[in-house]
Amino acid sequence: MRVVVIDSGGANIGSVLYALERLGVSATLSADPERIRAAERVILPGVGAAATAMARLRALDLVEVIRGLRQPLLGICLGMQLLYDSSEEGGTECLGLLPGRVSRLPGGTGLRIPHMGWNTLQIETDSMLLAGVASGAHAYFVHGYAAPVTADTLASCEYGSRFTAVCGRGNRFGAQFHPERSATTGARILENFIARGEARAVA
């Protein structure tokens, strides 16, 4: 299984590679377009600001490469947000692989932004990516922006408002939380992605 983790410059890249290694997967970190196109599974990690991340992908000539992938693609944290049309953060145009605009979390009484720490998942739609993950499973989040709940939402989470925690359309997936830091829940999702890489189709 050829797995490539895109060298997007995120601080979580090392922990993603280590999490895959714990599953017995030797992934390659690369920004080489041909190596990414040749992979059987592609992971787009990300931490930081949407505008900065998109600028890096453009500088590496990877925007059209990622848009053109036909193999399973998993965006993690900011990497998931980049799958959508745009982000309110800096008025950023993103990859446009999923419809919707990422917005700042509203917060609320006693709720600090960014949303940081463990929270629970609510399963919204059956998906191979979430096989073995039940509603109420815990995952570790660190983010100030989030995607809306849409037809592509596989699992949601509540923090001041309801947002997409896991998304999927065809071969494109995202996890707003950090699976590499989410214990058995995260390990299961990564394992499912590597093993199956399929979602139910969305019209």
DSSP 108: B
For 143, phi then psi, to 5°, come to -165, 155
Task: Specify the CATH number for the domain of residue 49.
Answer: 3.40.50.880
Which one of the listed residues 77, 94, 157, 167 is annotated catalytic? 77
Give yes or no: 167 in active site: no
Domain with 20, as residue range(s), is 3-195
Segment 140-149 shows an average pLDDT of 98
pLDDT for 203 equals 31
**Domain assignment present for 201:** no
Give yes or no: 115 in active site: no
CA distance 148 to 165: 9
Provide the number of structural domains found in the chain. Answer: 1
Give yes or no: 89 in active site: no
Which one of the listed residues 40, 158, 180, 198 is annotated catalytic? 180
**Domain assignment present for 147:** yes
* Both tokens assigned to 149: 């709940």
pLDDT for 197 equals 58
**Domain assignment present for 200:** no
CA distance 93 to 51: 8
**Domain assignment present for 168:** yes
DSSP 148: P
Summarised one tens digit per residue, pLDDT across range 61-116 is: 999 999 999 999 999 999 999 999 999 999 999 999 999 999 999 988 889 999 99
**Domain assignment present for 60:** yes
**Domain assignment present for 104:** yes
Which one of the listed residues 89, 143, 167, 178 is annotated catalytic? 178
**Domain assignment present for 18:** yes
